[in-house]
């Protein structure tokens, strides 16, 4: 359950409690001052934002190094405390009598080579990468018309695209050139000699009357790869593939062709964790990538390792932590020719390449997708590898149009939207990170919105919460779906997934006991253990924030420890793993459609299946059957839970 509902703050204290940020401690000041006495003065000077040194609007330095005072040195270093939320400032006077002021937080980040520290921006919200494997199941899914305006849906689209490296868009107009038009909404095009767009058909594309040859213009399967590993300026950043003509997906349509995707960053990270020497050699051996222009008329080439690392990772002194990967270069079509090295080095390299290739093609890391007319898949070409199955004769006419866009615009537009659409000043992504001030804001927002009405069925209640933020970083609907996504990806059973999906749908109808409403609503179909969880989870969530307020005990949940130990342990685990973590605006939640068959299976159970003799089993209808539509017979004998269904569906897509 979300903390904002159950007794978040005693009502008489709402609006009266303010955040108190502590200034830097004496020890911190002393240690930092001692460190500043040994830092190179030019390192400090280049971080100066005083108006004599940097433009006041852009914070861009005015001078090149040769214009700096020779033999510059520090004259004095003085700490001055400040009012919260700042932790104080160091005033450093240099030998030329100029003084620069540095915030404690900035100095700590810069001295630690924090890759997320910046000097020319005072506000930023970087999206961390979300590594995924087969449990992603499907790319984050959006509707074309929802992305035509710079609203919350567009911010979420860009956030998911950055965090997972992939997004699916439906309803894109099936017109020539729409790929480029859509891509330019978010960034600048990366044109190639193929033009602004390229066509993927079963016959060669042509440029200036000359047919370009590529494996894509055959019906043969294509293994995992990135596009254009041979580009001298680096491969394109993002790729878009738009299905203008494509077979319709469905049983009996004969549509078999499918695409597969794998997160190269996740695979590289797992390789690093499991066999560091193999990972290291793939980051250090520089390969040659080639292309003859597609028609033998020219040459393009590039030198780069198979796994590229973030420069900030190379500055790290921690050899025990896997470094951050910045790009993957992997394409059998483009060669990736290995330089001549000593035999033992080549043996290790080819062992590493073989393992990396096998992992990229393993079912453990792959999601499978069938495109359909009007679908557009948008993915990070430097991270997400893609492949294609054999094109069968029954697949009919197929016309995909592709294009490339640059990374800068994606990140720039996301940051602009993040700032302009910020729903809350609360920056946390899990309750554990929240401060007292964060919960104050949440409490005030919740008090305002609790009287709102919702519709009388579970999915409508969920949909109605899409615009309810209540001072949190995500909407109520997103919190419910995110909780269920985490539970599903962790392998929980159908009942737990459905309970997670609807655990807070009554939050805007009941002040203190919405969990009891959800428990009562779902009681005929879920076990007593999960009914108990729903009815008590508000108290268990208090473990993460009750201690922010006088007179409230975070361990209040322990009153149930001996009364119901099994239920207690399960509820504590569920809150820790799924509920309190699901306030992350950048988490790639699964589309609601993924959960519909799961909900149908759970609500198709006989009422009170866990106690056939329950006195309410025959209430209203005088039988123990539910009025919910039954699971389709065609699927009943194929799958009994989500993962069996998912695996069966994927097998049916294979030619």
The whole-number pLDDT of residue 589 equals 96
Residue the block writes with tokens 């910020």? 422
Contact (CB, 8 A) for 587 and 482: yes
Average pLDDT over residues 405-427: 85
Note the pLDDT of residue 94. Answer: 96
pLDDT band at 625 (very low <50, low <70, confident <90, very high): very low
Q: What is the DSSP string of 212-237?
A: E--GGGSSS-EEEE-S-TT-TT---S
Q: What is the pLDDT of residues 123-175, one digit of tens each?
A: 888 899 999 999 999 999 999 999 999 989 999 999 999 999 999 999 999 99
Q: What is residue 386's three-state secondary structure?
A: strand
Give me the pLDDT at residue 531, please: 96
Residue 629 banded pLDDT, cuts 50, 70, 90: very low
- Specify the higher pLDDT residue, 496 or 202: 496
**Phi, psi (5° rounding) for residue 138?**
-150, 150
Q: For residue range 184-214, what is the model confidence (pLDDT) as tens digits?
A: 999 999 999 889 999 988 655 555 455 555 6
> Which of 107-111, 171-175, 368-372, 442-446 has the lowest average pLDDT?
442-446
Confidence bin at 632 (pLDDT 50/70/90):
very low
* Distance of alpha carbon 169 from alpha carbon 375, whole angstroms: 6
| Tokens linked to 554 | 């975070």
Scored b (16 or more CB within 10 A) or e, 434-443 reads: bbebbbbbbb
Helices (H), 395-450: 407-420, 436-449
CA Rg, the chain, in Å? 28
Is the pTM here over 0.85, yes or no? Answer: no
Q: Compute the average pLDDT of residues 23-46.
A: 87
Q: How far is CA 187 from the centre of its chain?
A: 19
Residues of the chain above pLDDT 90, percent:
65
pLDDT of 436:
81
Find residue 198's DSSP bridge partners: 402
Closest CA to 224 of 356, 407, 403: 356
Please, are residues 286 and 304 in contact by the beta-carbon 8 Å criterion? yes
When pLDDT is averaged across residues 449-468 and rounded to a whole number, the result is 69
Residue 9: the pLDDT is 31
Residue 634 has pLDDT above 80, yes or no: no
Q: How many CB atoms lie within 10 A of CB 335?
A: 15
Residue 55 has pLDDT above 60, yes or no: yes
H/E segment holding residue 368: strand 366-369
Domain annotation for the chain: domains and CATH numbers: 27-111 (3.30.2020.30), 141-412 (3.60.130.10), 447-610 (1.10.3210.10)
Residue 8 has pLDDT above 50, yes or no: no
pLDDT at residue 628, rounded to an integer: 41
The pLDDT of residue 315 is 55
Query: CA-to-CA distance for 473 and 479, rounded, in angstroms?
Result: 9
Give the count of beta carbons closer than 10 Å to the beta carbon of residue 501.
Answer: 25
Residue 24: what pLDDT?
61
pLDDT digits (tens, 9 = 90+) for 597-624: 999 888 888 888 889 888 887 654 444 4
For residue 80, what pLDDT is reported? 93
How do residues 295-315 score in pLDDT, each as one tens digit? 888 999 999 999 999 987 665
In 106-237, beta strands by DSSP E: 141-143, 166-170, 198-200, 205-207, 210-212, 222-225
Mean pLDDT of the chain: 86
């Amino acid at each position: 359950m979300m903390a904002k509902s159950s007794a978040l703050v005693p009502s008489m204290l709402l609006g009266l409690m303010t955040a108190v940020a502590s200034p830097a401690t004496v020890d911190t000041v002393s240690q930092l001052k001692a460190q500043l006495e040994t830092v190179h003065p030019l390192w400090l000077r280049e971080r100066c934002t005083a108006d004599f040194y940097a433009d006041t609007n852009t914070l861009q330095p005015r001078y090149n190094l040769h214009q700096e005072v020779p033999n510059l040195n520090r004259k004095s270093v003085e700490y001055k405390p400040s009012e919260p939320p700042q932790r104080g400032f160091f005033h450093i006077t240099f030998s030329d009598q100029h003084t620069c002021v540095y915030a404690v937080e900035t100095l700590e980040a810069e001295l630690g080579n924090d890759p997320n520290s910046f000097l020319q921006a005072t506000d930023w919200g970087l999206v961390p990468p979300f590594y995924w494997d087969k449990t992603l199941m499907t790319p984050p899914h959006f509707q074309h018309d929802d992305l035509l305006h710079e609203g919350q849906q567009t911010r979420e689209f860009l956030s998911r695209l950055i965090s997972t490296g992939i997004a699916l868009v439906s309803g894109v107009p099936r017109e020539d050139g729409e790929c480029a038009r859509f891509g330019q909404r978010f960034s600048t095009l990366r044109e190639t000699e193929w033009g602004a767009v390229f066509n993927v058909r079963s016959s060669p594309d042509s440029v200036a009357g000359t047919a370009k040859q590529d494996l894509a213009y055959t019906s043969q399967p294509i293994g995992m790869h990135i596009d254009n590993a041979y580009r001298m300026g680096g491969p394109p950043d993002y790729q878009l593939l738009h299905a203008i003509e494509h077979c319709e997906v469905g049983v009996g349509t004969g549509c078999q062709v499918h695409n597969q995707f794998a997160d190269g960053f996740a695979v590289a990270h797992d390789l690093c964790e499991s066999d560091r020497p193999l990972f290291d050699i793939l980051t250090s051996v520089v390969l040659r990538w080639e292309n003859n222009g597609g028609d033998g008329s020219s040459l393009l080439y590039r030198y780069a390792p198979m796994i590229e690392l973030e420069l900030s990772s190379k500055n790290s002194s921690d050899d025990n932590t896997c470094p951050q990967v910045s790009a993957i270069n992997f394409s059998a079509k483009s060669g990736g020719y290995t330089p001549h090295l000593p035999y033992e080095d080549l043996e290790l390299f080819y062992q590493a390449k073989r393992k990396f290739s096998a992992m990229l093609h393993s079912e453990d890391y792959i999601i499978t997708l069938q495109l359909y007319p009007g679908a557009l898949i948008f993915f990070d070409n430097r991270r997400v590898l893609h492949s294609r199955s054999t094109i069968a004769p029954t697949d009919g006419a197929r016309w995909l149009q592709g294009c490339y866009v640059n990374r800068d615009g994606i990140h720039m537009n996301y940051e602009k939207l993040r700032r302009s659409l910020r729903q809350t000043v609360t920056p946390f992504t899990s309750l554990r990170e929240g401060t007292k001030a964060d919960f104050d804001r949440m409490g005030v927002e919740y008090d305002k919105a609790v009287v709102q009405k919702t519709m009388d069925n579970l999915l409508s209640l969920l949909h109605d919460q899409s615009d309810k933020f209540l001072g949190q970083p995500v909407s109520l609907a997103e919190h419910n779906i995110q909780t269920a996504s985490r539970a599903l990806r962790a392998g929980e059973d159908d009942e737990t997934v459905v309970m997670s999906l609807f655990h807070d749908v009554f939050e805007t109808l009941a002040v203190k006991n919405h969990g009891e409403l959800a428990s009562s609503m779902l009681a005929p179909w879920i076990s007593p253990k999960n009914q108990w969880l729903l009815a008590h989870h508000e108290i268990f969530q208090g473990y993460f924030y009750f201690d922010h307020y006088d007179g409230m005990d975070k361990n209040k949940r322990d009153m149930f420890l001996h009364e119901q130990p099994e239920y207690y342990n399960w509820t504590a685990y569920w809150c820790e793993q799924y509920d309190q973590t699901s306030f992350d605006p950048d988490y790639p939640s699964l589309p609601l459609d993924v959960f519909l068959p799961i909900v149908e299976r759970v609500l198709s159970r006989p009422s009170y299946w866990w106690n056939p003799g329950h006195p309410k089993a025959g209430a209203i209808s005088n039988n123990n059957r539910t009025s919910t539509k039954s699971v389709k017979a065609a699927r009943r004998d194929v799958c009994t839970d989500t993962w069996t269904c998912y695996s069966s569906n994927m097998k049916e897509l294979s030619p």
